[in-house]
Structure 1
């Protein structure tokens, strides 16, 4: 687990400049369809309805901000998490903490790099930081439009139709991207095979609905009893999904 968490931190640190670049005016942000629950969608619809209700001819017109507020919020939140994590790691291993950020928009790279390098020395407490680290990976990947281990796809499986134990009516997003090498060590000197340029990539889409049983001719492989399609089959899988939607 330590190797994986340290690699996650190193991955986020490596993409920090890309994240900060999103705050440059005129930078085009990658689009990713939001995954909203029914309650979240209803909340958004209600807010939009109230905004239209309160709009008057004298209201000031809206104008686009030079930098999307969501990007600034992301950078500030990520910096705060990274700095807090670095402090916790330093206290756990009894070494001096890093100086606090000079501002809310300082680079988080020094704090991420520090935690990645010293996480193994704080192994006993590492499990308490797993959620924070995983959250940083997911937020970074979403902001940059990257495919990441654990990403849930906004698609309904054409074989099980999104049927799960909690939603027997179907329609649920059951496809998840999995890096099947994420927990394996690397023989080329990398801390994690996911980030080693010499190791073969083994990324797959896995249907985790629990009741999906496609015919054998339609399944690339099976992972822990769940049907999976390696990335080399994604073009075929996308075509199969398009044909099911017709």
Structure 2
């Protein structure tokens, strides 16, 4: 089973793939009309009364034609970006130590090496790259937030307190959701959907189609267990 760390790394690894997918066109619709048509040919061979259109979706049906992939991917990127940054904001507000520049110290004078060293340490702490930024748009992005949350999840050192169990749960939940959204957008996740009003030609049971992960779709009857793929019926 994938962990929060796996999911966060998944976001980091595939963000560039999402950016590349913005300029591509969607390969098909879901359920896959052409794939269903090919499966229906096998069904017709089993039952002549089962017409080809029984597994097809009419173009005028709601949801039959998906939006161009670039729009769907943009929506996913926007949502994932917002959610990861939002969770990072909340956790940073709770566990990130305030910059030490807010602490008053004496002004370093000539030959005051201790004050100069302290001032240097304070400036370094304020500019620590491990800090989560609430203002820098270049660092308030999904992959940066995923990397920052991953470091907090793993307990990496830095100007932070310990995470609570609630914080860990928040990270796990948003990481799992973000990884799932990316899988859907990049068609890496297999989906299953009922074929409404399309009963099995053998037992009239419910047919369900699985696919959407780049593999050939498969139709299976929940009643008699028969299934159809690009090959012969099983």
- Tell me the TM-score range normalised by the shorter chain: 0.3 to 0.5
Q: Which has the larger radius of gyration?
A: 2
Name the TM-score, length of structure 1 as normaliser: 0.45
Name the TM-score, length of structure 2 as normaliser: 0.47
Which structure is higher in RCO with an 8 Å CA cutoff and minimum separation 6?
2
